[in-house]
């Protein structure tokens, strides 16, 4: 099996122009991950602590002094309040959504799952923003035409299942050219998106079947359950950050390992590097 | 690792009073699974075919001639219409819900996931019915006091996240004695329900943490995604049937393997056996 997060780290290491990471209120695991990332040559870090740390770090990113924002041991809400500040925050006019990159041993490539953490019950417009953020991240990771699976429990559109209606609408937006530079399929069930053989058995013909890059979920509850089942049930490794802001924002939780923070830093550095 | 579906099959094999299974419109994989189940001494089967097969089989279960109903190659809707027939169907007054039994290599015991297939967007009353059906199945499988995890993305109750409100309400129903013979926790995230270590890291103290028997999802979309990610991402083996009817109803899909049908037959036979 290709060690896919390590492949991303190698690419970031080889970039001579190291990305600068603002670290807010680092705790032990955060400090450990940042030191490891610096040792590997992934980033250059600066630490902010104290009550003003969230504001100072966000102002620094706003001013272009930093390419990545990394949350340590503070409430997510406190940091997000600064991120969305209209004067000095990181808003770009795009929707801000969460992307999880998962390295699942039983899948043949890195996959992106969204949005399991930021936009709770998205409507069609928000789903479109989530989709476009995700496709953009995948392109910056080197996938030229990302394949997006708009997940549901079934493949048919039923009016009484609103997630199937929205999935079909997203597919149509891509087919009419409203959504560009990606290939959208939906509604599609998880087995068909994940497993080529399942598609053959069900006679489901789509280039996205068994080969999706982006797994777009209907809401954050299903996304959260799905990501955690892939990590705990499927042995997946996880990286996560916010997309759609001026810079990637890494919001790892208290339970996140130093390893998870390290992968998040590496992926953020690659996304940041190629978007400038 | 204990081979847990095989343990269930052993128990069923040892029962001298073989359960009787009505098979509706068998196709190749269904016939293969039924023959294997008969060879192993799990059941005695009778096959129904033709246009009247769904009605005839359901009438037979209603009359007590059969203990299990197994769907072959017909539309689920066609069979369900007979199951819910008020004159000769299998209604008991309880909610009919779908239970999936999953043998996940990374989990230390068989787990039950519900409802990923029948009740689409349950309200609190329906969730209670789903929960009670699931706990009943688990008790019949030998778990005296099933531990039920009412899943959400977070552990705190937020009014703007209705699934957390309903999960807390279910926990309260158990604590006040309205729901009996099981232990209910919620809202609880998947990692805390599945992984003991995650609970320790987050300082989450509950007997259900890392040891849930029943994983209760907020709706069928998240349940469907979760079950399929455990099967395809986690290498889990799957069995499924409807609970709450007069007899277990096995609704395996066209894509189901003979193996999946066999496990479903074995679990249904055990549930049926001990409920009479």
| Predicted complex ipTM | 0.94
- Residues in Cβ contact with B273 at an 8 Å cutoff, skipping those fewer than 6 apart: B12, B15, B17, B19, B67
Find, among B27, B138, B39, B117, the residue nearest to B73 by Cα.
B27
pLDDT band at A254 (very low <50, low <70, confident <90, very high): confident
Residues of A in contact with B217 (CB under 8 A): 225
**Beta-carbon neighbour count of residue B28 at 10 Å?**
10
Number of H helices, E strands in chain B: 10, 10
Q: Tell me if chain B has a CB within 8 Å of the CB of A50.
A: no
Q: Do A120 and B195 touch (CB under 8 A)?
A: no
- Please provide the CATH number assigned to the domain covering B1-92+245-276: 3.40.50.10950
Q: Tell me if chain B has a CB within 8 Å of the CB of A157.
A: no
Q: For A234, which of B195, B224, B234 is closest by C-beta distance?
A: B234
Q: Are strands B237-243 and B97-103 parallel, antiparallel or unpaired?
A: antiparallel
The mean pLDDT value of chain B amounts to 94
Q: Are A82 and A90 in contact (CB under 8 A)?
A: no
Residues of A in contact with B221 (CB under 8 A): 152-153, 161, 163, 218, 222
Find, among A163, A154, A229, A227, the residue nearest to A193 by Cα.
A154
Q: Tell me if chain A has a CB within 8 Å of the CB of B120.
A: yes
* Model confidence at A35: pLDDT above 60: yes
Q: Residues A186-210, buried b or exposed e (16+ Cβ, 10 A)?
A: bbbbbbbbbbeebbebbebebebbb
What are the CA-CA distances from residue B243 to residues A77, A188, B76, B96, B136 (Å)? 42, 27, 15, 6, 9
Average confidence (pLDDT) over B8-35: 93
* Model confidence at A274: pLDDT above 80: no
Q: Do B225 and A231 touch (CB under 8 A)?
A: no
* Model confidence at B2: pLDDT above 70: no
Gap between the Cα atoms of B19 and B269, Å rounded: 6
Average confidence (pLDDT) over A32-50: 96
* Model confidence at A3: pLDDT above 70: no
Helix or strand (DSSP H, E) at B27? none
Residues A59, A64, A66, A69, CA torsion sign = positive
B207-226 confidence digits (pLDDT tens): 999 999 999 999 999 999 99
**Best of B109, B228, B231, B261 to disrupt the A interface by mutation (most A CBs within 10 Å)?**
B228
Closest alpha carbon within chain B to A236 = B233
Q: For B225, which of A151, A201, A234 is closest by C-beta distance?
A: A151
Q: Tell me if chain B has a CB within 8 Å of the CB of A74.
A: no
Gap between the Cα atoms of A250 and A62, Å rounded: 16
Q: What is the pLDDT of residue B252?
A: 81
Q: Are A183 and A192 in contact (CB under 8 A)?
A: no
A78-116 confidence digits (pLDDT tens): 999 999 999 999 999 999 999 999 999 999 999 999 999
Q: What is the pLDDT of residue B62?
A: 96
Q: Which residue has the higher pLDDT, B1 or B81?
A: B81
B155-197 confidence digits (pLDDT tens): 999 999 999 999 999 999 999 999 999 999 999 999 999 999 9
Q: What is the pLDDT of residue A273?
A: 63
Q: What is the pLDDT of residue B256?
A: 80
Q: Do A233 and B191 touch (CB under 8 A)?
A: no
- Please provide the CATH number assigned to the domain covering B94-239: 3.40.718.10
B109-152 confidence digits (pLDDT tens): 999 999 999 999 999 999 999 999 999 999 999 999 999 999 99
Residues of A in contact with B120 (CB under 8 A): 160-161
**Best of B229, B253, B258 to disrupt the A interface by mutation (most A CBs within 10 Å)?**
B229
The mean pLDDT value of chain A amounts to 94
Q: Do A153 and B220 touch (CB under 8 A)?
A: yes
Average confidence (pLDDT) over A224-248: 97
Q: Do A221 and B163 touch (CB under 8 A)?
A: yes
Q: What is the pLDDT of residue A199?
A: 87
Q: What is the pLDDT of residue A2?
A: 44
Locate A137 and state its tokens.
């991240």
Q: Do A233 and B106 touch (CB under 8 A)?
A: yes
Q: Tell me if chain B has a CB within 8 Å of the CB of A231.
A: yes
Main-chain phi, psi angles of B86, to 5 degrees: -75, -20
Place of tokens 């899943």: B151
Gap between the Cα atoms of B256 and A241, Å rounded: 37
DSSP lists the bridge partners of residue A47 as A23
Locate A168 and state its tokens.
């079909």
Gap between the Cα atoms of B103 and B168, Å rounded: 27
Average confidence (pLDDT) over B60-82: 96
**CA angle (B220, B225, B227) in 5-degree steps:** 90
Residue A94, classed as helix, strand or coil, is coil
Q: What is the pLDDT of residue B273?
A: 63
B173 CA: distance to closest CA in chain A (Å): 23
* Model confidence at A1: pLDDT above 70: no
Domain ranges of chain B: 1-92+245-276, 94-239
B12 CA: distance to closest CA in chain A (Å): 28
Q: Tell me if chain A has a CB within 8 Å of the CB of B221.
A: yes
Q: Do B106 and A195 touch (CB under 8 A)?
A: no
Q: What is the pLDDT of residue B255?
A: 72
Helix or strand (DSSP H, E) at B68? strand B68-71
**Beta-carbon neighbour count of residue A260 at 10 Å?**
21
Residues of A in contact with B254 (CB under 8 A): 201-202
Find, among B15, B29, B126, the residue nearest to B70 by Cα.
B29
A vs B: CB pairs below 8 A? 118
Q: Are B38 and B45 in contact (CB under 8 A)?
A: yes
**Rounded (10°) angle between helices A76-83 and A53-62:** 40
Helix or strand (DSSP H, E) at B165? helix B162-175
**Beta-carbon neighbour count of residue A88 at 10 Å?**
13
Q: Where are the alpha helices (DSSP H) in B1-97?
A: 4-13, 28-39, 53-62, 76-83
A145-178 confidence digits (pLDDT tens): 999 999 999 999 999 999 999 999 999 999 999 9
Q: Do A194 and B151 touch (CB under 8 A)?
A: no
Residues of A in contact with B231 (CB under 8 A): 191
Q: Do B222 and A220 touch (CB under 8 A)?
A: no
Q: Do A194 and B232 touch (CB under 8 A)?
A: yes
Same fold, B1-92+245-276 and B94-239: no
A66 CA: distance to closest CA in chain B (Å): 31
Q: What is A95-242's CATH number, 1.10.260.40, 3.20.20.390, 3.40.718.10, 1.10.443.10?
A: 3.40.718.10
A176-214 confidence digits (pLDDT tens): 999 999 999 999 999 999 999 988 888 899 999 999 999
Find, among A224, A209, A32, A250, the residue nearest to B151 by Cα.
A224
Average confidence (pLDDT) over A118-126: 97
């Amino acid at each position: 099996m290709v060690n896919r997060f390590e492949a991303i780290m190698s690419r970031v290491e080889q970039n001579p122009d190291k990305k600068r990471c603002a670290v807010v209120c680092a705790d032990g695991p955060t400090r450990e991950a940042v030191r490891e990332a610096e040792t590997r040559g992934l980033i250059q870090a600066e630490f902010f602590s104290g009550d003003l740390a969230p504001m100072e770090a966000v102002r620094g990113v706003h001013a272009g002094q930093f390419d990545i924002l990394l949350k340590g041991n503070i409430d997510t809400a406190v940091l997000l309040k600064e991120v969305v500040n209209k004067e000095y925050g990181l808003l770009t006019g795009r929707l801000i959504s969460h992307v999880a990159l998962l390295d699942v041993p039983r899948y043949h490539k890195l996959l992106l799952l969204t949005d399991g953490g930021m936009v709770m019950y998205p409507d069609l417009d928000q789903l479109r923003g989530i989709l476009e953020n995700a496709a953009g991240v995948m392109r910056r990771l080197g996938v030229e035409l990302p394949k997006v699976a708009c997940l549901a429990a079934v493949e048919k559109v039923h009016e009484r299942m609103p997630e199937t209606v929205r999935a079909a609408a997203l597919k149509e937006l891509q087919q009419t050219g409203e959504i560009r530079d990606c290939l959208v399929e939906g509604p599609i069930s998880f087995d068909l998106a994940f497993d080529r053989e399942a598609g053959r058995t069900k006679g489901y013909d789509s280039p996205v079947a068994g080969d999706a890059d982006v797994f777009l979920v209907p809401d954050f509850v299903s996304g959260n359950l799905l990501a955690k089942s892939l990590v705990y049930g499927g042995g997946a490794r996880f990286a996560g950050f916010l997309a759609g802001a001026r810079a990637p924002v890494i919001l790892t939780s208290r339970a996140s390992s130093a390893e998870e923070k390290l992968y998040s830093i590496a992926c953020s550095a690659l996304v940041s590097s190629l978007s400038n």
